[in-house]
Amino acid sequence: MGIKDFFFYLFSAVLLFAAFRVITARNPVYAALYLVLAFFQAAGIWLLLKAEFLAISLVLVYVGAVMVLFLFVVMMLDINVDKLSAGFWKHFPLAGTVGVIIALEMAWVLMGGFRTVEEPRAGPAAVQAATGGVAQVSNTKELGKLLYTEYLYPLEIAAVLLLVAIVAAIALTLRQRKDSKHMDPGAQVKVRARDRLQVIKMPPVVAPVPQPDPAAAAAAEGSKA
């Protein structure tokens, strides 16, 4: 077993362990951190497959952006973990069986691709090898050429869709709701210390002493007599 095979099995074992802990961890923050570990192991496998662009994209996009957002959401929400995991072990046999079937199907489909003896070469590499030159091919450069030539319109459509999603999310966040209290941040910043509390001098108010009624006092004395 070569060094490449050793790292492949190492990354795969850690990836399987991290994926299992994602669905079994009781703390959602720990589950998110295990998912980060799983992404790093998948990026390592991509590097072994000589897909450097996909590996760095997986780390930058999913680990650097998506998982950070997940962690913020998990920390801000009050999640009842006991209630969510109440029926986990009840449905675990069925879920495990389905997972094993899917894993066997994927292995049956992909094992044919692992038996290749010679690595496939790209178009420019094949041309240079045929002419006797040294093949120097960059996956990132080739993907950039494809994205901005043949797939330019799909790329622009995806960018417009993402822009619309960002604008919609901001609009939904900044709208004023009737059932929530809203305060202008600009007014909070502009407030001064002397405007918060104002002391007003007022004259004292003394309640008048009630005077006894003579008629009522005479009636009371007459009833006693």
Helices (H), 65-197: 67-76, 81-84, 88-114, 123-131, 139-147, 152-174, 185-190, 193-196
pLDDT at 116: 54
pLDDT at 113: 59
Low-confidence residues in the chain, pLDDT < 70: 76-86, 112-136, 174-180, 182, 222-225
Residue 33: count other Cβ atoms within 10 Å of its Cβ.
Answer: 17
Among 91, 84, 106, 88, which Cα is nearest to 16's?
106
The C-alpha R_g of the chain, in whole angstroms, comes to 36
pTM of the model: 0.50
pLDDT at 135: 54
Q: What is the four-CA torsion angle of 120, 122, 128, 133, rounded to 10 degrees?
A: -60
Phi-psi category of 132—alpha, beta or left, where left has phi over 0 and alpha has psi -120 to 50?
left
pLDDT at 131: 47
Contacts of residue 172, defined as CB under 8 A and 6 or more positions apart, other chains included, come to: none
Query: How does DSSP classify residue 116?
Result: -
Hey, is 199 helix, strand or coil? coil
80 membership: H or E segment, kind and range: none
